[in-house]
């Protein structure tokens, strides 16, 4: 299958290990707008991302939004972070053969924690909203 990401999106080299989790679930694409301080992520949903009923698997969407929100936390903190909590609300079913795009936003940064919200869209349809907490690795030492 040949897929062309939307203009402005570039392939994210997630890892050096081809069998890593993010390499297996991807590929993922990113569009960073440094002037606006935003980083949009995207992926093209394939049949392998679906559950047996043919809908986009909730675990795939949860993985995607975790990557997005963790990326927002990392960019804000400038240090490694790790997911502590991830709350997701699935608003509509997804299907393969579509482009999914998401963004994360840091709501608050404390000394050892970072609070983030995120969303995933398919076109103008809001598919998922999420909130979560990330630990700042090494903070508080």
Per-residue pLDDT of the chain (141 residues; tens, 9 = 90+): 567 899 999 988 765 567 778 888 989 999 987 556 678 999 999 999 999 999 999 999 999 999 999 999 999 999 999 999 999 999 999 999 999 999 999 999 999 999 999 999 999 999 999 999 999 997 666
Q: In this structure, is residue 5 part of a structural domain?
A: no
Q: Are 140 and 112 in contact (CB under 8 A)?
A: yes
Q: Are 119 and 107 in contact (CB under 8 A)?
A: no
Q: In this structure, is residue 46 part of a structural domain?
A: yes
Give this prediction's pTM: 0.91
Q: In this structure, is residue 2 part of a structural domain?
A: no
Element (H, E) at 105: strand 99-109
End-to-end CA distance of the chain: 48
Instruction: Write out the residue range of the structural domain in which residue 101 sits.
Output: 10-136
CATH number at residue 65: 3.10.129.10
Q: In this structure, is residue 40 part of a structural domain?
A: yes
> How many separate domains does the chain show?
1
Q: In this structure, is residue 48 part of a structural domain?
A: yes
């Amino acid at each position: 299958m040949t897929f062309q990401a939307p203009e402005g999106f570039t392939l994210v080299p997630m890892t050096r290990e081809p069998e890593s989790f993010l390499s297996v679930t991807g590929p993922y694409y990113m569009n960073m707008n440094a002037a606006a301080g935003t980083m949009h992520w995207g992926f093209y949903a394939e049949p392998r991302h679906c559950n047996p009923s043919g809908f986009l698997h909730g675990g795939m969407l949860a993985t995607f939004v975790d990557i997005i929100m963790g990326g927002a936390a990392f960019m804000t903190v400038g240090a490694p972070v790790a997911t502590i909590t991830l709350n997701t609300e699935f608003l509509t079913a997804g299907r393969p053969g579509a482009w999914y795009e998401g963004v994360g936003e840091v709501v608050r940064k404390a000394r050892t924690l970072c609070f983030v919200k995120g969303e995933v869209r398919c076109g103008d349809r809001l598919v998922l909203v999420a909130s979560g907490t990330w630990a700042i690795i090494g903070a508080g030492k």
